Structure formats: C-alpha cells, structure tokens
Structure 1
Amino acid sequence: MAQMAEKFLLSKLSRAGFVALIAIATLCAVLGEPMVAAAAAAAAGIVIAGKTFHPNRVHQPWPRIQQAFFVVLLLILLASFWTGPWILSHWLYALPLVAFALVPPAAAAVVTLIIAVLAMIAAQWAVGLADRHQMISAFLLTLLLSALLVFLRDYKTRQLAPLRRTDELTQAASREYLSADLHKEIQRSEREGTDMSIIMIGLDTHLSDDEPDEDIRSILPRIGRYLHSQIRDFDTYYRVADLQFLVILPGISTSDAIARAETIRKGLATLLESHGMNLTVSTGIAGLNIGDDANSLQQSAANALRRAQQQGGNRSQAYSSWSQPAQPSQPRAEGPVA
C-alpha cells in the first residue's frame, strides 16, 4: 500500500511539474527569452518521458528519449554561461541530481565534474558579474549536498531491497530476482545431485470472449494466497507477467511436478469459478536437464505453457515430452516433436 501511495504521489507531482514547465516555456517565449523557454521545454521533456509520468515509460525508447532531453538541457545551460541570461545558470544547481537519476553513476560523476569545471571557468571570465564568486561557492555547496543525497538514496535502496522482493498485489517474489534465484537453485541441485523442476502457470484469457482483466486483478491477491498455500516453505513463486506465475520446486522430479501442477491448475480453476469467471488455467512444466541454465529452463517452461494453451488450454504440459495429447483432467507428459 505504501508503494502504491508513493507511485501515486510521484505521478501527480510529475504531471504538475510538466504543466508548470510548459507554462514557463510558453511565457518566456512570449516575453522574448528563447534560452529560458528552450531550457524549460527540455526539462518538460525529461519529465514527460519519465516512468513516474507513466509506468509504461520504463521500457525503450523512453529512457533514451529522456536522456536525450537531459543532454539538450545540459547544452543549453552550459551555453548560457557565455551567451546569457545569467539567471539560467542557477538551473545548473539541480543538474547533478538529475544526472544521477537518469544515467549510470560513473557517467553522472563525469558529467558533474565537467559541469563544475566549466562553471568555474565561465564564472572567472564573466568579469561583469558582481556575484560570480558567491555563485560558484553556492554551486560547489550544492554539489556536496547532491553527493550526500545520492549516498543516502543508495543507502536507503540497499536497506529496503529485502522489502521490495515481493509483488505488492500477490505477495509473489518479484520477477527481477527470478534469474538470480533460479541460478542459485540450479547450482545447488547440480552440487547435491538432486532433481529440480519449475512450473509456469498462466490464465487462459486468450480463450475468453470477455474482457476479464479488471475482474482478475480484483482477485489477484486471492490467487497469490492460494499459490502460497500450495507450496512448501523452501519453494518460491514469482509473478513473471501480468497473469503468469512461476514456481521453483527444488528436489522435485518432472513427474511429481506434473502432479503438483495439476493440483494447482484445478484449484485455481475452482477459485476463478467461485468468483463467476469463465476462465481456465494452463501450466507448463520443465525439469532440470544437463546443460540447462536459468534462461533455458525458464524458456522450456514457457514453451510448454504456450504449447498447452495452443492445444486449447485447461491442461498441464511437460516440456520433456509432448508426443501424446495431454488430457485436461489427467496430467500427461508428452514427447518432443520430431
């Protein structure tokens, strides 16, 4: 709930900031201040291309677009040292924080160092500016405060990392930890010589004529609780997509994983039916084989799930074999297509 409130607040602040920057750009353009107008427009571009403005903008090309707007803003502000207006140079105070938010830390440190050097050189040349020394002192102090804020942000991120391992809605582990955790389980299985399997679970929404997304989202917490009730203490389940989950089963062979997948599939179907949803569930099972890594094992389970859904859904499908048709009511492993 706290994360949702934080995202909502950041979204509102982003929209308010975007409107304010557009208003500044328009006003300055009307008043004949093209440099200030261009800087405000570039800053508005940074805001509107950010993930806080819209969640989908975490994907490419939006991060690249946001970085391009940042480079444009940086060039405009640096140019203002030589061409004026000097009032625009005060915008440089915020650039270190923006740099560390948009580009990798090493690149942000280089950008900040270049900004500081060019700012001091430009201030020394601006002999007509009475308070140039005070401005440089304030700028260096701002750099120190920015460095402190960046350090505190990274420290907070490290401290809160364990709390952010779970998906807020379903309490499943976050997808970003799946590859690393699966890699560790594969290494443990190979070291101890034990079996390991994974189950990919997907709702067959493509087979429904309705638009059930909103209804499904309302019971996602119940789906998460049901999955949690079906796994052992040392099993882990992840939300890998909007309506897909993956379960890691250490020490479980493929045949046992098929039986567990069927139990989960039927239980989820009953849960959906009890909420008036005419939806079925399919599962894809993959066992660990020699040469598998985290990516190949996930891909095997995803292929098995896709195969199950292509065959009409409402079934469990093992990647190890699919030469025989799997019946919805009985888990059957089928052989690979020749």
Structure 2
Amino acid sequence: LVLVAFALVPRGIATLITIVMAALAMAAAHWAEGIADRHQMISAFLLTILLSAVVVFLRNYKARQLAPLRRTDELTQAASREYLSADLHKEIQRSEREGTDMSIIVIGLDAHASDSDPEQDIRSILPRIGRFLHSQIRDFDTYYRAADLQFLVILPGIATHEAILRAEAIRKGLGTLLETHGLNLTTSTGIAGLNIGDDADSLQQSAANALRRAQQQGGNRTQAYSAWTPTTPAQKRAEGTAP
C-alpha cells in the first residue's frame, strides 16, 4: 500500500499517508497486546516501510540521472530550454568559423489576446503548435520551448531578411491554426541575425527585445531587431516589421 501511495499521488501526500499508516499500525499493535505475533507484525510493517523508502529513493535517483538525457519538452516535443544556450553557442561558433549567416526567431503568444481564453485551452493547443513548428523547419534547424508561451528557432545559414519571411510565414500559419481551434489568440515573432561580437546571451536578448517591441505595438506582427531606443518617439516607424 505504501508503494501504491508513492506511485499514484505526489510525494508529499504519499509521505503523509505513510506516517499516518505507521501511527495507526503502532496504535493497533499497542492495543493488540494479547496477540502472540504482535512483535513480528510490527517488524514486518517497519521492514515494508524501509523497503518502500529504498525503492522510492532509487526511482528518484534514476529520474535525476536520466534527466540530462531528455532533450525534448514532453508537452510540445520542442528541444528542452536547458540545452538552448549551449546549442546556440555551438551554432554561433560554427557560423563564425565557416563565415555563414545565422538568425534566430522568438515566437510568442500575445498576452493581451490570451486574457479571454482559459489557461487550459491555451495549454491544450501547445502540442499542436509544437507539431506545426516541426513541420515548418528544415532538418538541421532546431526549435526550443524557450518559455511557457514562447518558442525559439535557430536558423543556420539564414540571413535576417530571409528569417523575416520565414517568421512571417510561421506567424500567419499559427494564426490559422489558433483560429481553427476557436482560440482568440495571436502570435508575434522577433528576429535577430548574428552580428560581430554576439554570443548566445546577446543574440537571445536581441530577439527577445524584437518580440517585446512587436507586442508593444499591438502584437500579431513580425519585428526584426535593430538598435532602436524604445523611449524615442521617432522610433515608432515600423522598421523591419510586418503587421
């Protein structure tokens, strides 16, 4: 029963159940003084708890050991965010070594549009978004679940202007997908191309800034990163944007 508890309910609740069972067993043993096998019953019960604890420990230890091998997010089948920075660093090094272009796209669901849809409906569409992104990228492109409602796509050999076209196609395709499933949601995309001096962190930050600007302008649009100053009124022009 102890093993069943740890298998079916969260660890904290299972631990509480085990403690309650142990207390009840000890109380029952105290009141069953006339039973000859009372001490054997207590020993067997304590041994069961000990073996259960060992099994749970080994299961958790195995899960921790296997965690680094899980490269995909279970919900969306996108690559795990834990590998994003390391993989992006490798792609940047390869791009610089070979003298080729590279861009990244950050795709985000627009928060202002998601307010009218229940959270469970939004989460239910994430697996379909993951499958759609998988169908839109090349074999050597990689996409990651960068945040709860954000994805990041690495595009080796793609310059910024071509990445804008790809991002816009993805955005429109996702719009159709969301509309088909009755969700009042839109997406925006931010693009950043690799420049001299960029590293994994700065490139991600550039794309995130582009996405943020797209969403600040109302969302449902594509924005390429440029060295704008968000507080300057003159920067309201839609440079590199596609509504």
TM-score category of the 2 structures, normalised to the smaller one: 0.7 to 0.9
2:228 aligned with 1:319 = no
Which deviations, in whole Å up to 9, do the C-alpha atoms of 1:15-43 show, x marking residues without a partner? 22223225657998xxxxxxxxxxxxxxx
**Counterpart residue number, 1:16:** 14
Which SS does the other structure have where 1:249 is aligned? strand
Partner of 1:335: none
Q: What is the identity percentage for the equivalent residue pairs of Structure 1 and Structure 2?
A: 68
Amino acid in structure 1 at the alignment position of 2:135: S
Query: How much does 1:245 deviate?
Result: 0.3
Contact 1:205/1:212 (<8 A) preserved: no
Q: CA deviation at 1:327?
A: 8.7
Instruction: Measure, in 2, the Cα distance between the counterparts of 1:274 and 1:225.
Output: 15
> Using the alignment, how far apart are the partners of 2:214 and 2:53 within structure 1?
52
Q: Contact conserved, 1:315 with 1:327, CA < 8 A, in 2?
A: no
Partner of residue 182 from structure 1, selected from 67, 73, 88 = 88
Partner Cα distance (1:235, 1:248) in 2: 6
Conserved in 1, the CA contact under 8 Å of 2:116 and 2:184?
no
Residues 43-85 of structure 1: per-residue CA shift (max 9 Å, x gap) = xxxxxxxxxxxxxxxxxxxxxxxxxxxxxxxxxxxxxxxxxxx
User: Displacement, 1:170?
Assistant: 1.4
What is the RMSD of the two structures over their aligned residues, measured on CA atoms? 3.5
Contact 1:315–1:326 (8 Å) recurs in 2:
no
Aligned residue for 2:66, secondary structure, equals: helix
Which ranges of structure 1 fall in alignment gaps of 5 or more residues?
A: 1-7, 29-87, 103-149, 333-338
Looking at structure 1, the residues matched to 196 and 164 of structure 2 have their Cα atoms a distance apart, in angstroms, of 20
The answer on whether the counterparts of 2:105 and 2:191 sit within 8 Å (CA) in structure 1 is yes
| Residue 98 to residue 291, structure 1, CA distance change in 2 (3 Å) | farther
SS at match of 1:237: strand
CA positional deviation for 1:262: 0.6
- Are the equivalent residues in 2 in contact too, given 1:307–1:317 (CA < 8 A)? yes
Q: 1:236 aligns with which of 138, 142, 149?
A: 142
| 1:292 matched residue in structure 2 | 198
Question: Equivalents in 2 of 1:268, 1:98: separation in Å?
Answer: 42
Between the two structures, name the one with larger relative contact order (CA 8 Å, sep ≥ 6). Answer: 2
Q: Offset at 1:211?
A: 3.3
Contact 2:117/2:183 (<8 A) preserved: no
Which residue does 1:53 correspond to in 2?
none
How many pairs were matched up?
213
Structure 1 residues 98 and 215: CA distance shift in structure 2, 3 A: closer
User: Which residue number in structure 2 is paired with residue 331 of structure 1?
Assistant: 242
SS of structure 2 residue aligned to 1:165: coil
Q: Measure the CA separation in 2 of the matches of 1:292 and 1:25.
A: 61
CA apart distance, 1:259: 1.1
In structure 2, do the counterparts of structure 1 residues 12 and 155 end up closer, same or farther at CA, with 3 Å as the change threshold?
closer
Cα contact 1:169–1:221 (8 A) shared by 2: yes
| Alignment deviations for residues 132-183 of structure 1 (CA, whole Å, 9 cap, x no partner) | xxxxxxxxxxxxxxxxxx6xx499628x81xx21112211111111111101
8 Å contact from structure 2 (residues 6, 14) kept in 1: no
